[in-house]
């Protein structure tokens, strides 16, 4: 609900079409593009009349914003895919680059380190936006971890197809996080947070994981 | 699962559990990162340089027929013998044939991944020729009888102590931890080998069409000795190595050094344009250039992934790849490791046999971001996955994907499944990590966060109905 709270606080009307499901990234990444297209077509229909689509995860935003046009390349519905891609934003990208908002009026006492989700960072090019938002949160101390841009190892089905590699990557990431002494690790990608939390919990670490929106919703 | 995939998994399991390896590779690369960034900043614009390099390679690869013809005719005009090798076998046969024809006794070789690709050393040794690697790293792994760990740093996985022990065992040298002393041990052995060899084999970093020359870039000077002391020089060159103009080197040499080794430029950069010409005091009597296709033209025919032929083999994608850093170079089981290897090996050696490398990626894109010639590496991994499924879908996986699609097209079913997940989670907790746990692949090493008591959808509905 945090995203809804932040957007409403900024004076926007939020709708949640209940017919929405998944963006189709799992079959797409596994190589099942025909299957992914079926799921994608559904979301394209659901969001046809929306003015702007805001997504809580850089990964899902990438699927729609970057991969839908590729998935529907030279397909009868290519124009529709491109139209949805053009109006779809990852949450922090929307606030900073579309709305031009840096200060959402949040207050969050704590030492925070930010983890870049790879999709948000490299596919959407959104490195500054989440940090700018965090820097404007009152009483929040932002500390950079070494190699913040290194992947946490989630990678969708990769995490269960190659659990040994995925976990090793997660451990490297968590060592970087631990080095900052932060109380919270914040990201704009829910799946990275699941991976990081999974490893931190197993290591018995007390660092908490939070989505960027959860921080920005605090006043 | 095929044998290559099995071997990859087993090796990856071993290496990811080896914390010494993890720390060592991280440490070995940290110096590289600092230097690479320092020298990247000396370019007026690194991103502009990448654009230009990508455009130059695009031009060369998309007009490969023309540039190769130009390259070859210029080379032949100065007496170089050029052989077009359609595959590895033809290249091996030709080079072994040259050695036999000249009754060669010993061969010295400088670093060449293309020679690794065609297993040239094996072929020469089987034909009775002694082959010595003259690049220090390559010499070390040759003594260990193992393949290079990394396409630029073949022995980066070894500590000084391990190298000292190796030299002590194989060469009888005194144990030492001093890198200079270790280098001197190899140097003394190598000098004798240069003098003895009557055939020198090299690769090529670039093939310049305009002037008909190959360019070799190195730090040890071993390639210069390898190519100029013996009376025959054979250069094995992949057809994708072409650059249109000599002046292109002004960009590509510093770029390769920066991206590949974190150097402004390598210590020795040499151009070779033919055998010894009349009136010249030195150089080889014969110069052979073997142009290798070995399925590169098949990749050329694939418009989507053609840019993989832009690769200048700098190894930068390996250095930033979290998969490479955790599984190590030997796990891949390929000549070309890391992201570029995962992209091209399916083209060079068969998609179904090597598709697992494209799956063994979190698709983080660090490779694409760092690639100096802007190969869309991580998207090509997605393309390989798609092509593999298209050609031969795995039955069970296809069934699962179809089921997933069905659920995602029925929001009620999706909501029901989510509720079911929430309700059954306490049961899952009882069997967590055991063989009965359906989430075992995750929960064996990671905790699974408890699902929220109420879904977003439920909260949303509640909010709408006051």
Q: Give the CATH number of the domain where residue A138 resides.
A: 3.40.50
Residue B200's pLDDT is what?
98
A162:B401 CB<8 A: no
To test the contact with chain B by mutation, choose from A162, A196, A208 the residue with the greatest count of B C-beta atoms within 10 A, namely: A162
Residue B424 in this model has a pLDDT that exceeds 90: no
Percentage above 90 pLDDT, chain B: 86
Q: Which two tokens stand for residue B115?
A: 């020679």
Closest CA to B231 of B203, B196, B206, B205: B196
| Rounded CA separation A96/A126 (Å) | 10
Residues A125 and A210 placed together within one structural domain of the fold: yes
Could you tell me the CA-to-CA distances from B120 to B95, B115, B448 in Å, in that order?
9, 5, 50
Task: Decide if B367 touches A, using CB distance below 8 A.
Answer: no
A–B CB contacts, 8 A cutoff, strictly below: 155
Residues A76 and A108 placed together within one structural domain of the fold: no
Q: Could you identify the residue written with the tokens 């590509």? A: B252
Task: Decide if B453 touches A, using CB distance below 8 A.
Answer: no
Residues A54 and A121 placed together within one structural domain of the fold: no
Residues A106 and A59 placed together within one structural domain of the fold: no
Compute the nearest-CA separation of A19 from chain B (Å).
6
Q: Residues 6 or more apart from B381 whose CB is under 8 A from it?
A: B339, B342, B343, B358, B361, B363
Residue B79 burial (10 A CB sphere; 0-12, 13-18, 19+): middle
Compute the nearest-CA separation of B456 from chain A (Å).
7
Of the candidates A95, A125, A159, which is a domain's last residue? A95
A170:B411 CB<8 A: no
Task: Decide if A42 touches B, using CB distance below 8 A.
Answer: yes
Residue B188 lies in a domain: yes
Angle (nearest 5°) at CA B131 between B125 and B133: 140
Task: Decide if A9 touches B, using CB distance below 8 A.
Answer: no
Residues A21 and A77 placed together within one structural domain of the fold: yes
Of the candidates B262, B294, B326, which is a domain's last residue? B294
Residue B393 lies in a domain: no
CATH number of domain containing B63: 3.40.50.10420
Residues A86 and A129 placed together within one structural domain of the fold: no
Closest CA to B202 of B177, B178, B230, B235: B235
The angle, 0 to 180 degrees and rounded to 10, between the axes of the packed helices B179-196 and B136-143 is 90
Number of domains chain B is built from: 2
Of the candidates A78, A95, A112, which is a domain's last residue? A95
Helix runs in B155-210, H state only:
160-171, 179-196
Residue B355 lies in a domain: no
Residues A86 and A145 placed together within one structural domain of the fold: no
Q: Any idea how long chain A is?
A: 219
Residue B456 lies in a domain: yes
Task: Decide if A31 touches B, using CB distance below 8 A.
Answer: yes
Residue B310 lies in a domain: no
What range does the domain containing A146 cover? Answer: 102-216
> Between residues 109 and 168 of chain A, which touch chain B (CB distance below 8 Å)?
118-119, 122-123, 149-151, 153-156, 158-168
pLDDT digits (tens, 9 = 90+) for B311-369: 999 999 999 999 999 999 999 999 999 999 999 999 999 999 999 999 999 999 999 99
Residues A195 and A140 placed together within one structural domain of the fold: yes
Residues A107 and A205 placed together within one structural domain of the fold: yes
Task: Decide if B351 touches A, using CB distance below 8 A.
Answer: no
Q: SS3 of B398, please? A: helix
pTM for this model (two decimals): 0.95
| Rounded CA separation A63/A23 (Å) | 7
> Between residues 68 and 107 of chain A, which touch chain B (CB distance below 8 Å)?
none
Could you tell me the CA-to-CA distances from B11 to B5, B15, B49, B323, B417 in Å, in that order?
10, 6, 38, 13, 37
**Over the range B221-235, which residues count as b (16 or more CB within 10 Å of their CB) and which as e?**
ebbbbbbbbbbbbbb
Residue B400 lies in a domain: no
Residue B145 lies in a domain: yes
pLDDT digits (tens, 9 = 90+) for B38-66: 999 999 999 999 999 999 999 999 999 99
| Rounded CA separation A38/B148 (Å) | 45
Residue B88: Cβ within 10 Å count: 19
Query: Sorting pLDDT into bands at 50, 70 and 90, what band is B466?
Result: low
Residues A205 and A170 placed together within one structural domain of the fold: yes
What range does the domain containing B432 cover? Answer: 411-464
Mean pLDDT rounded to a whole number for chain B:
95
Of the candidates A95, A119, A141, which is a domain's last residue? A95
The DSSP H or E segment spanning A139 is strand A138-142
Cα-only R_g, chain A: 18
| Rounded CA separation B2/B353 (Å) | 7
Nearest by CB to residue A155, choosing from B362, B369, B389, is B362
Of the candidates B270, B294, B318, which is a domain's last residue? B294
Q: Residues 6 or more apart from B333 whose CB is under 8 A from it?
A: B4, B7, B8, B11
Contact call for residues A192 and A199 (beta carbons, < 8 A): no
Q: Residues 6 or more apart from A130 whose CB is under 8 A from it?
A: A92, A114, A116, A120, A186, A188, A212
Task: Decide if A170 touches B, using CB distance below 8 A.
Answer: yes
Task: Decide if B360 touches A, using CB distance below 8 A.
Answer: yes
Residue of A nearest to B13 (CA): A164
Task: Decide if A58 touches B, using CB distance below 8 A.
Answer: no
The angle, 0 to 180 degrees and rounded to 10, between the axes of the packed helices B338-349 and B351-359 is 160
The angle, 0 to 180 degrees and rounded to 10, between the axes of the packed helices A163-180 and B3-16 is 30
Number of domains chain A is built from: 2
Residue B115 in this model has a pLDDT that exceeds 90: yes
Contact call for residues A125 and A208 (beta carbons, < 8 A): no
pLDDT digits (tens, 9 = 90+) for A175-218: 999 999 999 999 999 999 999 999 999 999 999 999 999 999 99
Lowest-confidence region among A110-114, B110-114, B156-160, B423-427:
B423-427
| Rounded CA separation A139/B171 (Å) | 64
Of the candidates B260, B294, B328, which is a domain's last residue? B294
Residues A131 and A73 placed together within one structural domain of the fold: no
Residue B463 in this model has a pLDDT that exceeds 90: no
Backbone conformation region of residue B294, classed left if phi is above 0, alpha if psi is from -120 to 50, else beta = left
Residues A89 and A194 placed together within one structural domain of the fold: no
Residue B416's pLDDT is what?
86
């Amino acid at each position: 609900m945090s995203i809804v709270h932040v957007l409403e606080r900024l004076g926007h009307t939020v709708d949640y079409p209940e017919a929405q499901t998944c963006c189709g990234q799992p079959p797409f990444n596994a190589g099942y593009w025909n299957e992914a297209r079926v799921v994608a077509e559904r979301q394209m229909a659901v969001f046809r009349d929306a003015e702007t689509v805001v997504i809580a995860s850089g990964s899902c935003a990438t699927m729609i914003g970057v991969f839908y046009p590729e998935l529907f390349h030279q397909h009868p519905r290519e124009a529709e895919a491109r139209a949805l891609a053009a109006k779809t934003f990852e949450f922090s990208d929307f606030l900073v680059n579309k709305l031009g908002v840096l200060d959402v009026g949040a207050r969050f006492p704590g030492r925070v380190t930010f983890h870049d989700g790879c999709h948000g960072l490299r596919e959407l090019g959104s490195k500054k936006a989440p940090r700018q938002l965090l820097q404007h949160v009152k009483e929040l101390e932002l500390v950079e971890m070494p190699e913040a841009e290194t992947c946490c190892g989630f990678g969708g089905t990769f995490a269960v197809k190659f659990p040994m590699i995925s976990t090793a990557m997660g451990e490297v990431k968590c060592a970087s996080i631990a080095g900052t002494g932060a109380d919270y690790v914040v990201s704009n990608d829910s799946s990275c947070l699941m991976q990081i939390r999974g490893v931190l919990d197993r290591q018995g670490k007390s660092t908490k994981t939070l989505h960027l929106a959860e921080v920005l919703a605090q006043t | 699962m095929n044998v290559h995939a099995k071997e990859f998994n087993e090796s990856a399991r071993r290496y990811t559990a080896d914390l010494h390896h993890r720390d060592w590779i991280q440490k070995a690369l940290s110096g590289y990162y600092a230097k690479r960034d320092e020298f990247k900043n000396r370019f007026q614009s690194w991103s502009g340089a990448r654009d230009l390099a990508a455009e130059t390679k695009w031009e060369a690869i998309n007009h490969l027929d023309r540039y190769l013809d130009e390259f070859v005719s210029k080379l032949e005009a100065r007496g170089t013998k050029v052989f077009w090798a359609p595959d590895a076998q033809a290249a091996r046969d030709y080079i072994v044939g040259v050695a036999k024809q000249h009754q060669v006794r010993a061969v010295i070789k400088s670093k060449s991944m293309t020679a690794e690709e065609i297993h040239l050393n094996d072929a020469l040794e089987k034909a009775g020729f002694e082959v010595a690697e003259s690049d220090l790293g390559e010499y070390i792994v040759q003594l260990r009888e193992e393949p290079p760990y990394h396409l630029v740093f073949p022995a980066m996985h070894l500590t000084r102590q391990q190298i000292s022990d190796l030299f002590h065992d194989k060469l009888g040298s005194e144990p030492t931890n001093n890198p200079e002393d270790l280098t001197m041990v190899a140097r003394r052995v190598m000098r004798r080998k240069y003098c003895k060899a009557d055939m020198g084999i090299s690769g090529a970093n670039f093939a310049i069409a305009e002037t008909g020359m190959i360019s070799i870039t190195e730090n040890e000077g071993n390639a210069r000795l390898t190519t100029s002391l013996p009376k025959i020089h054979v250069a094995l060159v992949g057809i994708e190595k072409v650059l249109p103009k000599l002046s292109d080197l002004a960009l590509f040499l510093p770029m390769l050094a920066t991206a590949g080794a974190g150097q402004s430029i390598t210590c020795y950069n040499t151009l070779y344009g033919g055998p010894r010409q009349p009136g010249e005091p030195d150089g080889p009597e014969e110069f052979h250039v073997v142009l290798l296709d070995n399925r590169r033209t098949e990749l050329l025919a694939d418009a989507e992934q053609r840019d993989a032929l832009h690769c200048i083999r700098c190894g930068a994608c390996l250095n930033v790849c979290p998969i490479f850093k955790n599984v190590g170079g030997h796990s891949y089981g390929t000549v070309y490791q890391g992201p570029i290897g995962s992209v091209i090996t399916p083209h060079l050696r068969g998609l179904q046999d090597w598709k697992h490398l494209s799956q063994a990626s979190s698709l983080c894109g660090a490779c694409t971001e760092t690639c100096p010639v802007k190969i869309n590496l991580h998207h090509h991994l997605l393309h390989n996955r798609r092509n593999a499924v298209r050609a031969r879908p795995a039955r069970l996986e296809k069934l699962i994907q179809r089921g997933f699609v069905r659920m995602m097209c029925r929001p009620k079913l999706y909501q029901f499944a989510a509720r079911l997940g929430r309700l059954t989670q306490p049961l899952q907790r009882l069997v967590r990590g055991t063989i009965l746990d359906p989430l075992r692949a995750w929960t064996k090493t990671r905790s699974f966060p408890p699902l929220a008591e109420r879904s977003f959808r439920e909260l949303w509905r509640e909010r709408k109905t006051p």
